[in-house]
Amino acid sequence: MVSSIKNKVELAGLILPTPPIPGGSYSPVIIRGNIGYVAIQFPIKNGEFHYQGKLGNELSTSDGYYGMQICALNALAQINKYISYDRLDGLNHICAYYQSAKGWDEAPKVVNGASDLFNQVLKHKGLHSRTLLGVHNLPKNFGMGLTVTFTNLP
């Protein structure tokens, strides 16, 4: 029996959302050879925008953690459209983007929202390296966004 990423998400007590529609002229997932690339995912749930503003101003570090979890679930939803869990060798790297107030310095805690979720849901396949990038602003004033690369078994 083929196992889906959706099954793994549900086993962790979570719900895999409907993947958000891209906001421009691009594909949400591209697979080249065995490597897959997930375009930036924002905290969008059921078509509604969440966690807009700057971390340290309108958003708390805790808000950021939960926002990153939504981004991570959206990334898994995108991957689930293209491959089964059985074909996922594992995540490679995540790149987290965030906008924050001057002096706010808790990005690692926020990005743990995504890392913790990936490790909980995917177990050893969820292990990854990561980059954190503070930016001046993000589309629609989202406080955070996330890209993911993964390896797909042939």
Number of compact structural domains in the chain: 1
Whole-number Cα distances in Å, 51 to 7, 70, 93: 27, 10, 23
pLDDT at 1: 56
- Tokens read off for 109: 């805690």
CA dihedral 100, 105, 106, 108 (to 10 degrees): 100
Contact call for residues 71 and 11 (beta carbons, < 8 A):
no
pLDDT at 2: 60
Q: In order along the chain (154 residues), what is the average pLDDT of each group of 10 residues?
A: 84 94 95 97 96 98 98 97 93 98 97 98 97 97 98 93
Looking up residue 121, the CATH number of its domain turns out to be: 3.30.1330.40
pLDDT at 3: 78
Q: Which of 36, 72, 37, 73 is nearest to 152 (CA)?
A: 36
Contact call for residues 55 and 100 (beta carbons, < 8 A):
yes
pLDDT at 106: 98
- Distance, CA of 83 to CA of 154 (rounded, Å): 11
- Tokens read off for 112: 């743990």
Contact call for residues 2 and 118 (beta carbons, < 8 A):
no
Identify the domain containing residue 37 by its residue range.
5-152
Q: Report how far Cα 50 is from the mean position of its chain's Cα atoms.
A: 14
pLDDT at 76: 97
Full-model pTM: 0.96
